[in-house]
Amino acid sequence: MTFKPHGKHLIAGEWVAADQTFLSEPATGEPDAISIGLPAHIDAAVEAAEEAFWSYGYSTREERAKFLNAIADEIEAHGEQITEIGMKETGLPQARLQGERGRTTGQIRLFASYILDGAYLDQRHDEALPDRQPLPRPDLKLIQRPIGPVAIFGASNFPLAFSTAGGDTAAALAAGCPVVVKGHSAHPGTGEIVAEAILAAIKSCGIHPGVFSVVQGGKRETGTRLVQHPLIKAVGFTGSLRGGRALFDLCASRPEPIPFFGELGSVNPVFILPEAGAERAATIATAWAGSLTMGAGQFCTNPGIIVILKEHADAFAAAAKDALSSIGAQVMLTPGIASAYRSGTQAVQEAANVEQLLATEAGEREASPQLFKVTADEWLKNEKLAEEVFGPLGLIVVADSVEDFTRIAKSLEGQLTSTLQMNSGDTEVARDLLKFLERKAGRVLANAFPTGVEVANAMVHGGPYPASTNFGATSVGTLSIRRFLRPVCYQDIPEDILPTR
């Protein structure tokens, strides 16, 4: 059955319309009228979340696991409609959206199972020592506790896995924190139907309805009101460096500053080490081209920069150009993202001493591959060349020696990922380079490409700024729950009143 969005906000279990609406910008089909979120909607949602916290924040792990699994069940039950509206709004293909839906429900179920044994609470106990001299020690127990209502901003490039019921929402709900989502205007209908699924789970599990709200659209003051609302205790965000930095500064400037967990920008450099370059330059180039253009390059882990020795650069460039030439234009998520890609491409084209190896044309809302080459010395001179261009643009940085690899690695800003393409003969070079790359990236790969972030216990999706605003956190994997917990020490508190849930 075709899904037609009603365009309302979900606030504390009720669908709420606004007098003002905006029109969505779908990749295909007719636009939908969506209610514009106002500060008053934010206030109502946050206040309901605070009220819900007094029950949900003290629910058992089993109750929260049941709720999370019910959300996953409802999303799967709405699967065909989610795919249909997602394709219309974003232009993403059916297979991509089906895969992303599986990832979304998978990470929700992962948290449901993860919290059951209570290990995430990191409980610690120092028993009382009443006879210790010169002073006795009291009984001390440490337990991680949920922090309260959390604000989540939906991402443009992942309408499911990083949006309404994405990883941030799953982690916060697992921790015991109610969630208020600021829906992304790129896919409001997709967000709405996922919210319908969450509401169904709330009703079936008898959860306080304030545990989850979503406010659609809205101008800057709506997002500002959300992060500055005194009842919000943390913010999760995936998006641009500029937008994320603005929200980060707002969080820091509050009378009560709160943590802002922003996953921002990254160029995800790939270093092709000497032996690998000599033996596999063309093979690596072909695989890299596939990673670079996957999803029109609209991944935060898109490998935009290749670093390779001069003697191997021509073979790599020729194979990369050949592979990229066969990849046509792809629809981008929004007209604004397509426009930003064109602007980013132009900036690289106009940079001094940069050679364009492949120039392609695309429609207004499309992106097609662009390939450039520059020397290591010129790249190091121009900081703009180290900035992310969101889309399928690749830049080959040609090094004169392995010493250039180190110079480039040391100059990098924070990255989500860095990659080593290496053979067995590259071990010594790789060992030396790794000590620089691990300081710059949250995830370091060997002989792979970073597109595709595994949802697992050991995954880190974050990194030093500007890859993210908190280098000690991750937005993917079970460790991400720690963002929404804080340690509390209970001194001489009787066991039967401790909140060990």
Residues with catalytic roles? 263, 300
Judged by DSSP in three states, 14 sits in: strand
CB count in 10 Å sphere of residue 335: 13
Residues 6+ apart with CB under 8 A from 403: none
The answer to whether 463 and 450 have CB atoms below 8 angstroms apart is no
Angle at 90 between CA 85 and CA 93, to 5 degrees: 80
Q: What is the C-alpha to C-alpha distance for residues 364 and 340, in angstroms, rounded to an integer? A: 11
- H/E element, 442: strand 441-446
Instruction: Locate 390 and state its tokens.
Output: 């969101």
- List C-alpha distances in Å: 119 to 115, 116, 130, 417: 7, 8, 29, 28
In this structure, what are the phi and psi dihedrals at residue 287, rounded to the nearest 5 degrees? -65, -40
Is residue 189 classed exposed, middle or buried when 0-12, 13-18 and 19+ CB atoms within 10 A define those classes? buried
Nearest alpha-carbon partner for 150 in 259, 75, 8: 259
- Rg of the chain taking only CA atoms, in angstroms: 24
Residues 6+ apart with CB under 8 A from 326: none
Torsion angle, CA of 26/165/418/426, rounded to 10 degrees? Answer: -110
Kindly state the DSSP code that residue 213 receives in the 8-state scheme.
E
User: Residues of 139-150 as b/e, b for ≥16 C-beta within 10 angstroms?
Assistant: bebebbbbbbbb
Residue 206: left (phi > 0), alpha (psi -120 to 50), or beta?
Answer: left
Question: How many residues are given for the chain?
Answer: 501
- List C-alpha distances in Å: 294 to 236, 376, 392: 25, 26, 8
